[in-house]
Amino acid sequence: MSLRYGLLGFLSKWEATGYDIKKEFDDIMSIFWHSHLSQIYPELNKLEQEGLISSQLIPQMGKPDKKLYSMTQKGKSAFITWLLSPQEAAKRKDSFLMQTFFMDNIPFEEALLKIKMNKKEHELRLEHMKSILEERWKDIKERKVMNARIISSSAILKQGIEQEIQSIKWCDQTIQLMEECKDLWDLKEDHVSIERFSVIERLLSSYFKDVL
């Protein structure tokens, strides 16, 4: 997926300014896609040059004219073609997990702190997503509106919330495992006693019990 199809998607139902689109990216879209105005405006210009969208200047009292974008028929056709095309599963790149993989190279307390800080980040994201859900649900009930976009966006919001809940659970389980295996950070070689090996084996079995 590229940014252009997200922009076309926003313009598929209504006209919008670049700022309007940025607000949408900061809302529910932030669950799976991040973009800045410095990326949005150049891409809007490209789409307009290709004839996929058009724009008009709207005068404003005491302010610079604002540019309102809308999708053309050519843009609609390109957008529908993309929607109907098969998409590969996203290839994950996560710098935090890369760091986690190599945390045996830093002191135990520093490694543990990184997991705890990551948990806090997910808790904040979960709180933010729940607030989005509450606000959207309140707005839907007050306006008595319902359409297919509400259903599809709700699916994204639910997945985002579930991912944050799972990430927090993973942090909690990993913190517990690390604390119970703290001595491994001080090992000078890759061997422990038979008794200790058995204990850690049971800990790992318990750690993976939910997924095996």
Residue 27's CATH number: 1.10.10.10
Can you tell me the distance from the alpha carbon of 166 to that of 113, in angstroms, rounded to the nearest whole number? Answer: 19
Question: Cα separation of 117 and 20, whole Å?
Answer: 32
Number of domains in the chain: 2
Let me know whether 104 and 203 are in one domain. yes
Crossing angle of the two packed helices 108-143 and 148-180, in degrees rounded to 10: 160
Both tokens assigned to 30: 């932030």
Answer yes or no: is 75 within a domain. yes
Same-domain pairing of 39 and 58? yes
pLDDT of residue 176: 97
CA atoms 90, 164, 98, 189: torsion sign: negative
| Domain co-membership, 36 together with 60 | yes
Taking only the tens of pLDDT, the chain with its 212 residues reads 589 999 999 999 899 998 899 988 888 888 888 888 888 999 999 999 999 999 999 988 888 888 999 999 999 999 999 999 998 887 888 999 999 999 999 999 999 999 999 999 999 999 999 999 999 899 899 999 899 989 998 999 999 999 999 999 999 999 999 999 999 998 888 888 999 999 999 999 999 999 98
Q: Is residue 62 part of a domain?
A: yes
Q: Does residue 193 lie in a domain region?
A: yes
pTM of the model: 0.84
- 99 with 202, same domain: the answer is yes
Domain range holding 129?
Answer: 95-207
Domain final residue, candidates 54, 84, 114? 84
Establish if 90 belongs to a structural domain: no
DSSP string, 25-74: HHTGGGGT----HHHHHHHHHHHHHTTSEEEEEEEETTEEEEEEEEE-HH
């709180």: which residue's tokens?
A: 127
